[in-house]
Structure 1
Amino acid sequence: MASGILLPQPLCLVENSPRKGLVVQQEALQVLSEVTQPVVVVAIAGLYRTGKSYLMNRLAGRRKGFSLGSGVQSHTKGVWMWCLPHPRKPGHTLVLLDTEGLGDVEKGDTENDTWIFVLTLLLSSTLIYNSRGTIDQQAMEQLHYVMELTEQVKLKAARGQREEEQEEEDPEEVAPFFPTFVWTVRDFTLRLERDGEGISEDQYLEKALALKDGSSSKIRRYNQPRERIRQLFRDRKCFVFDQPAPKRDLERLEELRDEEIDPEFQRQVEKFCSHVWEKSPPKTIPGGRIVTGSLLGKLAETYVETIRRGEVPCLESAVLALAQTVNAAAVKEAVKFYRDLMEKRVKLPTETVEELLDLHSQCQRETQELFQRRAFEEDIRSFQEDLTRQVEEVQEKFLRDNEQASRDNCKAALGDLSQDLVGKLRDDVYIVIGGYKLFKGDLQALVKKYQKKPGKGVMADAVLQEFLQSIEPLDEIIHKIDLALASKS
């Protein structure tokens, strides 16, 4: 999944069910778990029936994919995901998130609108906000979700404070964790000019975000959404789009041929797509860690579980939960890495314990380096201790296996070398005058051959001593018989 074409079509990531609420789809999590590349997550939000899905299909390089619908109600339910090879960043995966339209009056309960927006904001590295007509006060107030979000979602990771110590979010500290922001205005109805001179789309946005002087309640209401947007979305971009086709053809926009679509609209879409492809950054989380598909799936799962518990998603808690999962997996991977490395490099039995310990030290160092690359800094100490403990257990097993392999080799060597001695004992070769001296000479020759034999390992002396101790009763018997025979002669 990580290097080839991923999803041939979009897949539901988070279902918005009237009966169950928000539910992460296991099929989508399975797809993300197989994406090991860094992900560039581009999400779109905005009012329903404003053409969000069409823009996302074009970002996917397709005409069809995300459902456009043709009615007056939101057609996309929940959050839909499309994973594709990134068209401009080799080694990266582009994850497109199309979200349920905000403000669909037919839904009745719109509480999940806020949560879907929260998820979109927390999961994306670039957030596209799509509106229609112009950027006016109504459009600004439709972004009240941003203000609500920053009041609720405690990005404590930026401040390192306990929740009870935290009074109000500081936009200066929260902003780095927000995605880059692109405002797209569909069916734009104004001329891009000011005081009779042409202005850029970005200048139009900044003009719309300009604050008014004064302290009346009307001015405060005017300034509030603009202040929040300026504070939280430092990296801002604007694109405006003409109407793509006559109104009668809009319902079948995805089916229209190029010559049936307004050329200026096509140029605007190409400009928009190029910017998003080239400028959208990989998704990161506090600590500068780049998110992979598998981590993105875990983040989505963590956020949705938090919402379903009736709690507010917290970036610090999500990262900590993610760290627990990732670090546990990193420990498991590192222990396997250590075991495989030892099995590859260690040829049992080693001649000395020091030789095995030296190899252990090398493998342990490489294992720690691997763990550090895989693990999160959050709550890392306990996992480091667990890794050390498990590596020591594997090391102890290697020490035991080394001794056993040495013992087996030594016993086999002594078994081969002692065959002649055993045969002479069986044939009573040593039951003669001078037999004891003959026996001792054969035994000494056996020991010398044994000592020269390679590959005996760390138990060579111990096993030899055990062998000689087993011979001691025979040694005494042969010695007594030799003395008795000599006295009779």
Structure 2
Amino acid sequence: MAQMKLPMCLIENQEGGEIVVNQDAAQILSDITQPVVVVAIVGKYRTGKSYLMNKLVGHSDGFALGSTVQSKTKGIWMWCVPHPFKLGHTLVLLDTEGLGDVEKGDSKNDAWIFCLAVLLSSTLVYNSVGTIDQQAMEQLHYVTELTERIKVKSSPREVKDEDEDETAEFKRIFPSFIWCVRDFSLELELDGKTITEDEYLQNALKLKKGIGKKVQDYNLPRECLLHFFHSHKCFVFEMPASKTALQRLDQLQESELEPAFVTQAEEFCSYVYQNSKPKTLPGGHTVTGRWLGNLAVTYVEAIRSGSVPCMENVVLALAQIENSRAVQEALCKYDSEMSQRVDRFPTETQEEFLNLHQESEKEAVKLFMKQSFKDENQEHQIKLIEKLAEKRAKYSQRNEEASAAKYRALIQDLSVSLERGISLGEYTKPGGHQHFVEEKQKLVDAYNGSPGKGIKALEVLQEFLIEKEKVGASILEADQSLTRTEKEIAEQRAQAEAAEKEKQIQEESNRRLEQLMEDQKRSYEEHEKLLREKMEEERRKMKEENEWMIKEKLKEQAEMLKEGFDRNAEMLADQIRSLREDKKEENQGSGLRRFLTAMLPGALGGIIKKIF
């Protein structure tokens, strides 16, 4: 990918609180076909978020730092760079505008910016100042609103099982979570013992027992962080420099910063580089830059329309876009492969042409399988099969036309002597018919003896012989050296030869038809084989994802039991049972196989009828 020298606004926060996707930024993403590791940072304005993002890029500036009480970042800004550790991956950094900006005064807009950061990222960094206390938790109230702003399933709430807890699925789609505490001045101690940063966060996320509203308000953001995000990491940072120097933080050399802060920032960057995973969708589908751009557009359109973004609908919409694109790119791949082989036209045999087609088709189908996902009922794959059959027919016609042109040119060269004899009247003399037959046979022998018999060779010869039938009949009729009986015998012989040639042409045509049908069968078997492999891989990924979810829920359950929160543990037990049932259903995946044997052969049968 081309290096972005500076960040660009991806999602603009316009006057009046409307959010829109910047099309220039979306275009940059659309050109990135690599998997993306997406790190988004959120937090209150003027907490140093942009500085951390710049450090991840290896720059002291880029994202606007802001040295006043005003929030500099509006909307969500994006910076795409090659990943420093993961070869073949792109690191996408998203810097969000400061939450709680008094000048903006729009908490609803803040909530959507937070929501988009969660939905688009694979790692979410929350940046705060001071300590992790109740005030810091209250400032993170946006996390408690996620249940109102994101849906996992598309089915209406009123028809759902009332015991179904959709938020149990959030961990499957949400990013990992890092809490960065800036200007931290406390000792990392608990009950007189030194603790790690992660233990500091774990202690801050502990729930309180009780049933009152205060307890519920205290627990709610903590429960959301624990249950929605699948990992929790903490970094604390000392004050980077003096208060005066902070106003020009982007201009300071590293030597002018506090050594402890420099070390802490390096540890943060190293952790993000090594542990932040590529963005994925449910089912283990890895997101590319192009997918990320489409996701951003789809989410923002849903928000602008006043609806709640639904993960299931968004993924299906993305699948439609990507699968349609996969069909087109696969067809372009076929054309590209065939264009490298047309210099071998005309082929000498039908088998040779079909081999060229098969090589090109295989590359096209492999590309489609690589790029497509969630192809419901194999709708796009069947469309690809039909389009490839159409393209094969066009290239076959092109090959036949080249063959016909080649052999018409050959027969024109070979018939020069015969045509001169006709025009000079050499065959209208007594005995001329025999002379004409002999010359014609010499031409046929020379034609048949030419190297390489192409697809249209027999038909072109027959076309020429039919063209000369009237001339031969006239010469025969005018030859006074022949008796009526001899003329009848010669005429019958000519008719028999013509009939034999037609029979040969028909037999050749039938043989080629059988070869085409065999090729169509082979094509189906190849599609079926690759589809089975793809389904098996997707089933494996879903199984792994489910097993991971069960493991995560078991850890949560163990922690709840340890802390004495029996009701929470019981709720998690229900979620675990539900996940295990899903796993059982996955192992019974014969429905897709039945589809393969029922649907694809029927579609291919229709293709054969249309072509033949």
Change (3 A) 1:267 1:214: same
Partner amino acid for 2:336? D
Structure 2 counterpart of 1:220 = 216
**1:106 alignment partner, SS class:** coil
Aligned to 2:415: 418
Residue among 228, 233, 237 paired with 2:229: 233
Residues 245 and 262 of structure 1 are in contact (CA less than 8 Å); yes or no, is this contact kept in structure 2? yes
Match of 1:281 among 237, 253, 277: 277
Match of 1:69 in 2: 66
Rounded Cα–Cα distance in structure 1 between residues aligned with 2:254 and 2:410: 84
Counterpart AA for 1:141: E
**SS of residue in 2 equivalent to 1:127:** strand
1:36 maps to what in 2? 33
Q: 1:48 aligns with which of 35, 45, 62?
A: 45
Structure 1 range deviating more: 286-295 or 343-352:
343-352
5+ residue gaps in structure 2?
485-612
SS at match of 1:319: helix
Q: TM-score scaled by structure 1?
A: 0.93
For 1:209 and 1:109, the matched residues in 2 are separated by 28
Q: What is the rounded CA distance, in whole Å, between the counterparts of 2:56 and 2:81 in structure 1? A: 10
State whether residues 10 and 21 of structure 2, in contact with CA within 8 Å, keep that contact through their aligned partners in structure 1: yes
* 1:10 corresponds to 2:7: yes
Q: CA deviation at 1:455?
A: 4.5
Q: Determine if the alignment matches structure 1 residue 203 to structure 2 residue 199.
A: yes
Equivalent of residue 189 in structure 1, options 166, 185, 191: 185
Alignment of 1:161-176 (within 5 A): 165-166=159-160, 169-176=165-172
- The secondary structure found in structure 2 opposite 1:128 is strand
Please name the residue that 1:320 is paired with: 316
The within-5 A match list for 1:303-318 is 303-318=299-314
Deviation at 1:486, TM superposition (A): 8.2
Task: Deviation per CA, 1:369-417: give whole Å up to 9, x if none.
Answer: 2211111124362211221221121111122222222221221111111
User: 2-side partners of 1:213 and 1:74: how far apart?
Assistant: 38
SS in 2 for 1:204: helix
* Aligned equivalent of 2:428: 431
Paired letter, 1:122: L
Q: Deviations for 1:422-480, whole angstroms, at most 9, x for unmatched residues? A: 11112222232222111111111111111122345222222222211111111122122
Aligned residues of 1:323 and 1:379 also touching (Cα < 8 A): no
Residues 274-302 of structure 1, C-alpha deviations (whole Å, 9 max, x = no match): 11111111111122122222221111111
Tell me the equivalent position of 2:92: 95
Contact 1:433 1:486 in 2 (8 A): no
Partner Cα separation in structure 2 for residue 81 and residue 327 of structure 1: 26
Q: Indicate the residue corresponding to 1:266 in structure 2.
A: 262
1:82 deviates by 1.0
Contact 2:426 2:432 in 1 (8 A): yes
- What pairs up with 1:56-455 in 2 under 5 angstroms? 56-156=53-153, 165-166=159-160, 169-345=165-341, 347-379=344-376, 381-455=378-452
* Length-normalised TM-score, structure 2: 0.75
Query: Does 200-209 or 347-356 show the bigger shift?
Result: 347-356
Change (3 A) 1:363 1:109: same
The aligned length equals: 481
Q: Percent identity?
A: 52
Aligned counterparts of 2:10 and 2:333: Cα–Cα separation in 1: 33
Give the AA of the match of 1:297: G
Q: Tell me the distance in 2 between the aligned counterparts of 1:378 and 1:49.
A: 45
Q: Distance in 2 between matches of 1:370 and 1:85?
A: 24
2:258 partner letter: D
Unaligned runs of 5+ residues in structure 1 are none
C-alpha displacement of 1:144: 2.1
Structure 1 residues 258, 413: closer, same or farther in 2, change over 3 A? closer
Quick one: distance in 2 between partners of 1:455 and 1:485?
39
CA apart distance, 1:161:
5.3
C-alpha displacement at 1:228, in angstroms?
1.3
Instruction: Report the residue type matching 2:141 in the other structure.
Output: H
Tell me which amino acid in the other structure corresponds to 2:362: R
Tell me the distance in 2 between the aligned counterparts of 1:257 and 1:458. Answer: 76
Q: Shift in Å at residue 175 of structure 1? A: 0.2
Could you say which structure has the higher helix fraction? Answer: 2
Q: Distance in 2 between matches of 1:30 and 1:40?
A: 18
Secondary structure of 1:381's aligned partner: helix
CA RMSD of aligned residues (A): 2.0
**Distance (whole Å) between structure 2 residues aligned to residue 362 and residue 26 of structure 1:** 38
Q: 1:111: how far off? A: 1.8
Deviates more, 1:56-65 or 1:401-410: 401-410
Aligned to 1:461: 458
Query: Match for 1:298: what amino acid?
Result: N
Could you tell me how far apart the structure 2 residues matched to 1:199 and 1:108 are? 38
Q: Report SS of the residue matched to 1:337.
A: helix
For residues 286 and 170 of structure 2, the distance between their equivalents in structure 1, rounded to whole angstroms, comes to 18
How far off is 1:483 after superposition?
2.2
- Equivalent position SS for 2:480: helix
User: What's the counterpart of residue 478 of structure 1?
Assistant: 475
Q: Contact 1:349–1:456 (CA<8 Å) still a contact in 2?
A: no
The CA distance in 2 between the partners of 1:194 and 1:304, in whole Å, is 44
Matches of 2:385 and 2:139, distance apart in 1: 53
The 3-state SS of whatever aligns with 1:14 is strand
